[in-house]
């Protein structure tokens, strides 16, 4: 029986699923992905190799990795109507909203029988289409916003290289591609984040994978979740414009005095521990600073904010703090930060939707009712 003792606001500490995909092991300070440490994967495997592992539970052979690359390359196209939709959106549409609309729209291109077939094979096939097309939608949504012509994916380029290519039509350097690849890997899967839970809830009604991932996009946009990478970078830029590192402490003090949050810090699960992804990625920052004239000053701001936050709140950075700065240094436009997080997370979402469909039980929790009781409608003047 459900009692009020079971109530946990925000479902904090509640176990809602058994999974074989991933687990945040707080004792070992490890993000376990299919039995592997994510931080080790990020240093040793490519994003696509890790994607295969996340989706299939085993490292790919060379042939399996090549087949995944080819499928994604073949599928990295958009129907002309989706390009037209991106161009027709109001100019202030955030690329994350365009991505949500675009993924939802793609469902209509599936044969209804396949769309509603939730067996592993069709689910993976549909999931890979979404994975291949999402970066094309995101980058071209941003380009449409800017009034720039679309850039389709180039079949000669790899998955990560193509993302940088579609942003600005320039062939990216290896350093940028490798760094972005590691960022994507760090974002690939993270247990039951709000967006992953959202996808599983939607999948549990036996809705299709397009609907589940569309819902995840909406969830990830929020600044308490994926939107934090954008907000964290915006904060660094703001401090730079307001006087640089010398002004960082005052900036943070002012926000805290107004009971505001410092984006990119804190985490529901880690909270008083360093997010292992942030710990790994911070060491890559110094070697990227040369990419922007303001890089050194922003790094001084970055360190100052971290120092003040730890001294004053004992909160550590989460992954969004270094990643916001890294994407800025790689010249990715800030409105694309959260869409790229979503693109990176798709293999995790595919794995969770697939797992949910395989062992489904509808999510349907209860409430503690705090509203009135025993009210009755007025008899006179009732509309019936």
Distance CA 304, CA 76 (A): 41
Quick one: 172 or 226, whose CB is closer to ligand CMC?
Answer: 226
Distance in Å, CB of 255 to ligand CMC, minimum: 8
DSSP conformation class of 94: -
Annotated catalytic residue 320 = yes
- Of the ranges 81-89, 150-158, 246-254, 314-322, which one interacts with ligand CMC (CB under 6 A)? 314-322
| 8 Å CB contact between 335 and 144 | no
Four-residue CA torsion sign, 265, 266, 272, 275: negative
Q: Is 282 helix (H, G, I), strand (E, B) or coil?
A: helix
Q: Is 265 in the site for ligand CMC (CB under 6 A)?
A: yes
When binding is defined by CB under 6 A, the residue of 60, 122, 135, 266 that contacts ligand CMC is 266
> What strands lie across the sheet with 36-37, from one edge to the other?
22-25, 30-33, 36-37
Copy the structure tokens of residue 245: 């590192």
Q: Are 110 and 303 in contact (CB under 8 A)?
A: no
Q: Please report how close the Cβ of residue 38 comes to ligand CMC at its closest, in angstroms.
A: 13
Residues in the chain: 384
140 φ/ψ angles, rounded to the nearest 5 degrees: -80, -20
Minimum gap (Å) between residue 330 Cβ and ligand CMC: 19
CB of 277 to ligand CMC, least distance (A): 9
Q: Which residue has the tokens 């549409």?
A: 93
For residue 226, state whether it binds ligand CMC (rule: CB under 6 A).
Answer: yes
List, in sequence order, every beta strand (DSSP E) within the chain: 22-25, 30-33, 36-37
Rg, Å, the chain Cα set: 22
Residue 280 binds ligand CMC (CB under 6 A): no
Residue among 379, 244, 221 at smallest CA distance from 301: 244
Q: Is 316 in the site for ligand CMC (CB under 6 A)?
A: no
Catalytic status, residue 376: no
Shortest distance, CB of residue 132 to ligand CMC, whole angstroms? Answer: 23
225 binds ligand CMC (CB under 6 A): yes
- When asked if residue 319 is in the footprint of ligand CMC (CB under 6 A), the reply is yes
Active-site residue, from 94, 118, 190, 225: 225
74 is catalytic: no
**Minimal distance in Å, beta carbon 95 to ligand CMC?**
17
Task: Report if residue 349 touches ligand CMC, rule: CB under 6 A.
Answer: no
Q: Under the criterion CB under 6 A, does residue 224 sit at the interface with ligand CMC?
A: yes
Distance CA 185, CA 179 (A): 10
Of 51, 228, 288, 323, the one binding ligand CMC (CB under 6 A) is 228
Question: Quick check: 262 binds ligand CMC (CB under 6 A)?
Answer: yes
Catalytically annotated residue among 118, 208, 320, 357: 320
From candidates 264, 324, 335, 339, binder to ligand CMC by CB under 6 A:
264
Of 54 and 319, the one with the shorter C-beta distance to ligand CMC is 319
DSSP state of 247: G
Give the active site residues: 225, 267, 320
């Amino acid at each position: 029986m459900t009692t009020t003792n079971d109530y946990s606001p925000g479902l904090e500490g509640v176990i809602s699923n058994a999974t074989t995909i991933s687990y945040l092991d707080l004792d070992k300070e490890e993000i376990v992905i299919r039995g592997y440490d994510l931080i080790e994967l990020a240093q040793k495997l490519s994003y696509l190799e890790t994607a295969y592992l996340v989706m299939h539970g085993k490292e790919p052979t060379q042939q399996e990795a090549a087949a995944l690359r080819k499928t994604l390359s073949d599928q990295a196209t958009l129907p002309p109507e989706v390009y037209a939709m991106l161009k027709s959106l109001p100019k202030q549409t955030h690329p994350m909203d365009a991505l949500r609309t675009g993924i939802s729209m793609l469902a209509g291109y599936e044969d209804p029988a396949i769309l509603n077939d939730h067996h592993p094979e069709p689910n993976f096939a549909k999931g890979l289409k979404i994975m291949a097309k999402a970066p094309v939608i995101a980058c071209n949504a941003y380009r449409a916003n800017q009034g720039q012509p679309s850039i389709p994916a180039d079949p000669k380029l790899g998955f990560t290289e193509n993302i940088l290519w579609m942003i600005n039509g320039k062939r990216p350097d290896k350093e940028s591609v490798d760094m972005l690849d590691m960022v994507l890997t760090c974002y690939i899967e993270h247990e039951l984040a709000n967006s992953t839970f959202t996808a599983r809830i939607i999948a549990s009604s036996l809705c299709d994978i397009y609907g589940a991932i569309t819902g995840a996009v909406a969830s990830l946009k929020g600044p308490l979740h994926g939107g934090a990478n954008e907000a964290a970078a915006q904060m660094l830029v703001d401090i730079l414009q307001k006087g640089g590192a010398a002004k960082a402490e005052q900036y943070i003090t002012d926000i805290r005095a107004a009971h505001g949050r410092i984006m990119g810090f804190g985490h529901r699960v880690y909270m008083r521990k360093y997010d292992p992804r942030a710990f790994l990625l911070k060491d890559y920052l110094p070697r990227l600073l040369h990419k922007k004239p303001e890089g050194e000053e922003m790094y001084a701001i970055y360190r100052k904010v971290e120092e003040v936050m730890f001294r004053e709140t004992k909160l550590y950075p989460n992954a969004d703090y270094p990643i916001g700065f890294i994407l800025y240094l790689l010249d990715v436009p800030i409105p694309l930060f959260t869409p790229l997080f979503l693109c990176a997370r798709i293999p995790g979402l595919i794995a969770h939707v697939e797992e949910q469909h395989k062992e489904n039980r509808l999510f349907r929790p209860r409430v503690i009712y705090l509203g009135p009781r025993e009210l009755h409608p007025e008899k006179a003047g009732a509309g019936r």
